Structure 1
């Protein structure tokens, strides 16, 4: 009998300990928590919108490019007003053009295409741009006066493929 009581007592102690350790009882442990309000992350914006552009000749007269026939010595300027949106901390972007190949349909040494030259309110600015603003971009097409003979008669330069591109650049402090 003594053994039976000893076995029952030991079993009762083991069951009690198991209940305490298994969550049936309370073994005290400390814990704490705190909440934070880190805020909301909001993205910026990068956009470019173009108004109607204007072609002018060397004398600053507006021309209709659809009917104008360029001759050696002509210099034509295309002016495009661009609304540039740059919103964001450390936002910066470059305006470039695409679709202004060196000669297109003309002989390479007979034409020069340059640009874009950028101005804000008539004052020259350079890339990169860092604020929202209205920018005037100018592209120049020059049919060089050094063109000889009948070179490039009835040739065409397709500016229909020209695009103004606004490309974000990485400023210092970004990785």
Structure 2
């Protein structure tokens, strides 16, 4: 019986060792873990919104309805459009442009002078010559002058349709 007990004891030790060395038990090994909190990435914003444009005459009086206003030689009219520009982003920069008036002109070219749109920004106001880097306002100005030297009945009942002006912001990719 002693041999049987000795054999059973030896077998039990062998099974225990096998379990520890095999997968049944564990041998100590170093292990560590850590979590990180990268945060949240938030996109910026690039937008342009036009206020209601205003026509004024040479005396700076507001013209409430340009379609009902009749120019005469010597009139100089100015259209002013304020653009609210949103530029949000750590490296945000954008160019601003005014494109086309789609003008349909019935006047004799020598009798009218049309300029613009000219874009200005800042205080004091300066012509936009480079990229914008902050939110703010940009002012677009268009002028129409019916020259005072227009002779006789030249250009009576003629019209000048400015059509549409498109104001475009284009982001400049960061360097």
TM-score by length of 1: 0.64
Q: 1:81 maps to what in 2?
A: 82
Indicate the RMSD between aligned Cα atoms, in angstroms: 3.3
1:145 aligns with 2:148: yes
What CA distance in whole angstroms lies between the structure 1 residues aligned with 2:55 and 2:160? 14
Where structure 2 has 5 or more consecutive residues not aligned to the other structure, the ranges are 1-22, 24-32
Q: Report the CA distance between 1:85 and its aligned residue.
A: 0.3
What CA distance in whole angstroms lies between the structure 2 residues aligned with 1:51 and 1:136? 10
Q: Deviations over 1:91-137 (max 9, x none)?
A: 22233223424x52233343322222313355225142211112332
What CA distance in whole angstroms lies between the structure 2 residues aligned with 1:129 and 1:123? 14
Where structure 1 has 5 or more consecutive residues not aligned to the other structure, the ranges are 1-24, 26-32
Q: Report the CA distance between 1:62 and its aligned residue.
A: 1.3
What CA distance in whole angstroms lies between the structure 2 residues aligned with 1:123 and 1:113? 18
What CA distance in whole angstroms lies between the structure 2 residues aligned with 1:146 and 1:95? 36
1:62 aligns with 2:62: yes
Aligned length: 147
User: If you compute each CA radius of gyration, which structure gives the higher value, 1 or 2?
Assistant: 2
TM-score by length of 2: 0.64
